[in-house]
Structure 1
Amino acid sequence: MIYLARHGQTVFNAEGRMQGHLDSSLTALGQAQARAMGDLLAGLIETPAGWRLISSPLGRAQATARTIAARIGLTPEIDHRLIEVSFGAWDGRLRADLRAEFPEAFGAADWQFSAPGGDSYETVESRVADWLSELPPEPERRVIIVCHGGSGRVVRGAYLGLSRQETWAQDVPQDAVFRLLNGSSERIDCSSVAEA
């Protein structure tokens, strides 16, 4: 079983800014989302024994993973293959500005892969598939991962055997986790999130 969580809301998310391999801090809402995901996972996992918590190396994912870890009693690990899609020259840019500057790219469903110097879909899919291939088989697999909107979509798509279009059409909530089990994916929403 894999539980997949996206990091909580960041300053860049709130601003509508592309993050990619850049980083920004969790907002108060993002911190509350991380706590809510930790509470949800604590209720889903009876005992942490035998479970691993693996995070992308980026700070926003690590901050979320630390919050979850504190709630369920695990020590987070880092795997660079779970890192977010790089948007190259678009990292740090406002989406609205990019949409105005590159209207032809933004017409595509997976416009993020049009970024100059950014990752290709195939690159991300390859590294995620490599990571998945190293996991123990089900039912011995007990893994929680904290990653990103882009890389999380690709993890789910690779696990489910989805096409590129189907993979990129998936939702990327910051207040839910996905349970990947027996070749299927189930979204599990957190209880309402209140900023502290």
Structure 2
Amino acid sequence: MSLPILQPHLIVGLEPTIRGNIHYLSDDDIVYPVGCVVAVHNINTKKQRYIKLSEKGKNLTHLLVSPNKKLIAIAETTDKLPVITLWDPALFRKKKTINLPQDKDIVCSRYACMEFTYDSKFMVCVTAEPDWTLYVFKCDKGKLESFARANNLNGTGTVVQLPLSLSIFMKCYDDGAINTNKRSIERLGIAFMTV
């Protein structure tokens, strides 16, 4: 005689402290974090599929879906550096893990903001205080393409948002100007604009 196995049928709830906490994956599927999983809920069939998180989901900071809907990015804090995991929503398998470079003097433990480029080829991330560094990663390889300082030269100001569009790469922040290596950003085909 085998023991019965409990399987979740429906998990509801929403975590308001997570940035980008709900997205449409398709016309029928909604992605959102709840408890120790990221749920993909089909609104027509009322069925769910799950991505299990490490550390019971307590370290989840950002949830993001790529513009082409082929990647789900999950950012988590760790004891040392923040980590981004890219998932394939069709197969529910981990595709890539994006780590910050180990050779840099990085002190932060989380990302302030992150966004995919319009073509879903690159992921742009900004680390939080005290570093405030912008990183551009290639999604298919998880490789660091470029990095630059993300706040003012005097170290003031915080990055709040990274709105990316077809031709404009812009950072919104509390105060001051941004100083970056524009050539390396332009090399990726992203126009750079400061506000």
Higher helix share: 1
The structure that has the greater radius of gyration is 2
**TM-score of the pair, normalised by structure 1:** 0.25
Higher strand share: 2
**TM-score of the pair, normalised by structure 2:** 0.25
